[in-house]
Structure 1
Amino acid sequence: MLAALLKLRTELGGAALGLDVPGAAEGREAQRSLLSQLDDYILPRLVQLGAPLLTVIGGSTGAGKSTLVNSLVGRRVTESGVLRPTTRSAVLVHNPADAEWFQPDRILPDLARATTQSHDTRALTLVAAHTVPQGLALLDAPDVDSVEADNRRLAGELLAAADLWLFVTSAARYADQVPWDYLREAADRSAAVAIVLDRTPESSMGEVRGHLARMLTARGLQDSPLFTVLEGDVDEDGLLAPSAVAPILNWLHDLAADPEVRAAIVTQTLDGAVRKIVFSAFDVADAVADQGAVLTSLVEDVDRAYTGAEAAFAKDLSDGTLMRGELAARWRDFAGSGDLLRGADDRIGRLRDRIVDSVRGRRARVTEVQESLAHDIELLLLEQAEAGAHAAYQAWEESAAGRSLLAGSGRELERATRTLRSRAERIASDWIEACTEIVRSEGAEHRMTARFLALGTSGSAVTLGVCVVSELAPRDDASGATMARDLLVDVFDDATAHRLLELAKEDLLRRAGTVLRDERQRFYDVLARAAAAPSAADSIRAAARAAEDARHTDLIPEDWD
């Protein structure tokens, strides 16, 4: 069962419930409660079934819990008084021989250990006392109805970690709703409970005790021991008379002295806790499933936005959109500087011109086309990345869950990442180089032809690049797109030109697609932190069923109903 519950704990702990959907708050609270119950009580207790019986004294404000603990121990070990709330940090009193059982990694691991009581609700004060029998420990908890939320939260955690509840109430408070909410929870999970009716005048003891007993019966707690402590004076140390607490003290000593009884109490409480965990885990699974539907919708919003951006990039890339402005002018200057295919003699003239250009400090025209082409591709990729981010952001703003996610991540998701410009610049530059490699490898059989020699490898590569960005441009386009396509076919044959065009285009779309998918991943990462995958609900249910099977195998004796 330990292995099954560890698996269930892993599945529960890994299921994020951060989406703002109906029932999410309740699901998160149920998840938190289950994880606390597993970590604070069930798993530590399963690992150390022989640990002392942990008896948590809890109850209403002013019921006299701390006074009762001090009186049971025989000395002042926990703060008591008329000011409320009195108890802040929890106090655990144990026999000195049992000290090792209460080290930080054994029980209530989230509470820091202390040797003196403080007002730190995240501390656990350990007190050794020989008057506490070996095999049993007393833990004084804050008020379950404290005016301070931290006290109430700690009281709930401590009661959930108890093998045995010693629930203290008074004649003035026994009918209050909050304590009964805790007692009903104890009954729901079959926890071992004893009731102390404290601070009750002798004149009304019979009536109050009878009414309280009927209330316990009506709520399934008729088998819980019911002790009474008459209202009386305390001594100078704030302790009740020994006779006032003798029945409770004798009962606790009897429990400590009987290993079989202790084991039965532990088994009863542990079995009920596991049963409640399994039952409640299905509620968490349902909450995860509810979030899964919204998660799917938010993922679809992001996919739609970035799929649209990829499609727009592919369209604008090849329909001649880029063959405007400077790129078109640079290309016409390069291609229109003369007939590029006039032959080897004219190549000598062009070589002379390039030497003169170099002397005058002007870059070769082919380099200018390459730079202009790379710049325009960079801008197009940036534009579509920005469009994808904006579209995804706007789609999320239309749902409550999406708005909540955006509120937690600022407005950075509305824009492309800050490093995208440098990455887009590198992508475009690398693609220009890739065109050169494609020409060298795929057009190798044409490299010794006069037409290829006239244009050169760089000229052929830049012509290929221009053909990619003007593949679907109209035939009568004045930008020079038609000239580029005709030139590519003239240098290579028609089939080779088509193959080169497809390879270069696919290479660029692949590079751009990788960038846009990485941009989209930012939204996925936000979702992954906020919500579990839809499959997590089934994983939780499967782990819960396995834990229930293990409960019947390991905890429930064969003679139990």
Structure 2
Amino acid sequence: MTESKSAVTPPVGQALNDIVKRVSETRFTLRSDDFAEARTAHSALTAELNDYVLPRINRSRTPFLIAVGGSTGAGKSTLVNSLVGRNVSPAGVRRPTTGNPVVIFNPADAKFFESEHYLPDLPRSTDPQSSMPGVVLIADENIEPGTAILDCPDIDSISETNRALSHRVLLSADLWLFVTTANRYADAAPWALLKTAAARSTSVAIVLDRVPPEANREVRHHLSSLLSEAGLANSPIFSVAELELEDGLLPHAAIYPIRSWISQVGTEGTSLERIRNRTLTGAIAALPARVSELADFAETQEQAHITLAGSLEKSFRSAQSGLAEVFSDGRVLHGEVNARWQDFVGTGQLFRGLEPTMARMRDRISAAVTGKHDAATPLHVAILRSAAVSLREQAIDVVDEVNAEWRNTAAGAALIEDQPELRTVGAGLEDAVKTAVSTWSDEVNALVRDIGQGKKSKARILSFGVAGVCAVVEYAAFWDPQRAHDAGQSTRQGAGVALNLAETIFGADEAAGLIASIRQRFLDAAVGIVADCRTPFDNALRLSAVPARQAGALRASGERLEVAL
């Protein structure tokens, strides 16, 4: 039997191939609010394209697939076994009975059901009792060549995996033989799928199982009314009375109308092709809307990624731009640093309003570095400790801020939940800060010593002592009158004295240049430390990156198919 190609024109085929490509490239990497729904839609569309559409537009011959589906306990497997004439699919009281789809086909069609053609990602088995997930393949001479019957898992199974697989198998078929019972035909689960069938013009026949004779007419009438409302008015209804089974099978007379109808459909080329083309055409016509829905989900992913990246950039840009203020507005000089500074310069004369001469100040500092009273080292240590604490706080604050921002979104909260390294600063922060501050201190020392090689400043530096001079310029480096709007009086006075001392030692211009240089060196180190705290977040975004413009590409492919249709 050769399949008609009339259902798919070349432009439609090209548009379909483009859709397949775009859908395969679509990624849902962020757990946004609609993540589960998006993944389900993507999985279902991918499966339908690969399991149903592509085989029928790219292959010259595919079997006519009849899917037998329905609710738990409706009698699907018993019906399948009865149609085949022997027990090929498990049937019984255990629920769910059918966990794997069972495919019964003529041996002549075996090649189509090889893994590269049908449900390619599922393992194959020939044992209906197998507990391993996969497709059960049963070759049977009693099945007409070119026709196959699929016993689907329960559509309302307690197993979510079974429900998803049932939906997928149904959408891979050309015709649905939907089994329900007299007391369950109005349940919500079957009608949700039957409406899907109507939306994609899938041909459906209804088997009303276990119908009491006295209720047959009334039930059929009501069911016909429901089918009409669902857009399935032309679907045939077959009633099967509640009968004793014969060796596990329904009596021949009970299923003869169904078997005869299936045989007629399978052997009459015109009828078969009409059903096949109707289902295929309907499925293709429904694709633009489904691709558009997937594009909406993809756009949500793009926006979620943009939001996370934007809040990350904003937080770290703000943190890094704020470092200049943090390390020049005098806050590093508060507390212990000011106490050590007052000890260093002598608070008695300084804060009684007397202006000590530079000579007297020099004598005091000189005495400190010659061992009479070493105040330079405690001051130096206090400055480095305070600078390290402030730097550490800035790193922790920006990580906490990004955490708070990301936790306000479903996607960000999921990333933080999955990656503990995003929750706090890295374990290496402490060592990195110590190394950066120590390196900066060494650079200050080297700069002072280098300047001390010149004749102009050498004598003064030797007079004050290198350690004392380093402490003075380090103190001055963390003060900028342009930024220190809220500094206390003692900090302002102390910074003024430090600047005067530096100018006395180096000259006004060289002191200003030196202080600006060592301040910038510290800021550069601080920026590097804070930037390193961003790395885990950047890695998280990189690993969850959403393909660029995937939503637009999906929409364009769907519109192209709509035009081709």
Q: TM exceeds 0.5?
A: yes
**1:384 paired residue number:** 394
Q: Which segment drifts farther, 106-115 or 70-79?
A: 106-115
Partner SS for 2:327: helix
For the 8 Å contact 2:182–2:211, the answer to whether it is kept is yes
| Residue 182 to residue 93, structure 1, CA distance change in 2 (3 Å) | same
| Residue 81 to residue 304, structure 1, CA distance change in 2 (3 Å) | same
**2:227 paired residue number:** 216
For the 8 Å contact 2:28–2:298, the answer to whether it is kept is no
Partner SS for 2:332: coil
Q: How many residues align?
A: 522
| Residue 232 to residue 255, structure 1, CA distance change in 2 (3 Å) | farther
Matches within 5 A, 1:224-239: 224-229=235-240, 231-239=242-250
Letter aligned with residue 198 of structure 2:
A
**2:328 paired residue number:** 318
**Partners of 1:57 and 1:286 in 2: CA distance:** 37
For the 8 Å contact 1:163–1:269, the answer to whether it is kept is no
Give aligned-pair identity as a percent: 30
**Partners of 2:478 and 2:556 in 1: CA distance:** 59
**2:3 paired residue number:** none
Q: Could you list the per-position Cα deviations for residues 475-517 of structure 1 after superposition, in whole angstroms to 9, with x for gaps in the alignment?
A: 9659964454234334544334333333332332233234334
| Residue 316 to residue 170, structure 1, CA distance change in 2 (3 Å) | closer
For the 8 Å contact 1:285–1:540, the answer to whether it is kept is yes
Give yes or no for the alignment of 1:253 onto 2:262: no
**2:431 paired residue number:** 422
Q: CA deviation at 1:393?
A: 5.2
Q: CA deviation at 1:234?
A: 3.5
Q: CA deviation at 1:243?
A: 3.2
| Residue 391 to residue 466, structure 1, CA distance change in 2 (3 Å) | same
**Partners of 1:44 and 1:147 in 2: CA distance:** 24
| Residue 63 to residue 321, structure 1, CA distance change in 2 (3 Å) | closer
**2:385 paired residue number:** 375
**1:39 paired residue number:** 46
**Partners of 1:54 and 1:379 in 2: CA distance:** 72
Partner SS for 1:318: coil
Q: CA deviation at 1:271?
A: 0.4
Give yes or no for the alignment of 1:141 onto 2:156: no
**2:457 paired residue number:** 451
Partner SS for 2:38: helix
Q: CA deviation at 1:312?
A: 6.3
**Partners of 2:226 and 2:298 in 1: CA distance:** 34
Q: Which segment drifts farther, 29-38 or 280-289?
A: 280-289
**2:484 paired residue number:** none
| Residue 97 to residue 505, structure 1, CA distance change in 2 (3 Å) | farther
| Residue 43 to residue 492, structure 1, CA distance change in 2 (3 Å) | farther
Matches within 5 A, 1:448-527: 448-452=454-458, 455=461, 463-472=472-481, 477=491, 481-519=495-533
For the 8 Å contact 1:165–1:193, the answer to whether it is kept is yes
**Partners of 2:298 and 2:537 in 1: CA distance:** 24
**1:559 paired residue number:** none
Q: CA deviation at 1:425?
A: 1.4
Letter aligned with residue 374 of structure 1:
L
TM-score (norm 1): 0.74
Partner SS for 2:333: coil
**Partners of 2:410 and 2:291 in 1: CA distance:** 28
**2:20 paired residue number:** 5
TM-score (norm 2): 0.74
For the 8 Å contact 2:175–2:275, the answer to whether it is kept is no
| Residue 328 to residue 437, structure 1, CA distance change in 2 (3 Å) | same
Q: Could you list the per-position Cα deviations for residues 311-351 of structure 1 after superposition, in whole angstroms to 9, with x for gaps in the alignment?
A: 76544422333335665677788889xxxx99xxx9xxx9x
Q: Which segment drifts farther, 477-486 or 510-519?
A: 477-486
Letter aligned with residue 206 of structure 2:
I
**Partners of 1:256 and 1:73 in 2: CA distance:** 21
**Partners of 1:475 and 1:539 in 2: CA distance:** 59
**2:355 paired residue number:** none
**Partners of 2:563 and 2:145 in 1: CA distance:** 31
For the 8 Å contact 1:88–1:121, the answer to whether it is kept is no
Structure 2, unaligned runs of 5 or more: 1-15, 347-357, 482-486
For the 8 Å contact 1:271–1:551, the answer to whether it is kept is no
Structure 1, unaligned runs of 5 or more: 19-23, 358-363, 557-561
Q: CA deviation at 1:36?
A: 1.7
**Partners of 1:402 and 1:146 in 2: CA distance:** 30
Q: CA deviation at 1:206?
A: 5.3
For the 8 Å contact 2:426–2:533, the answer to whether it is kept is yes
Give yes or no for the alignment of 1:275 onto 2:288: yes
**Partners of 1:262 and 1:454 in 2: CA distance:** 102
| Residue 154 to residue 320, structure 1, CA distance change in 2 (3 Å) | same
**1:108 paired residue number:** 119
**2:440 paired residue number:** 431
Q: Which segment drifts farther, 226-235 or 83-92?
A: 226-235
**1:168 paired residue number:** 179
**2:198 paired residue number:** 187
Q: Which segment drifts farther, 408-417 or 53-62?
A: 408-417
**Partners of 1:261 and 1:396 in 2: CA distance:** 54
**Partners of 1:87 and 1:146 in 2: CA distance:** 9
**Partners of 1:403 and 1:257 in 2: CA distance:** 56
| Residue 259 to residue 467, structure 1, CA distance change in 2 (3 Å) | farther
Partner SS for 2:149: strand
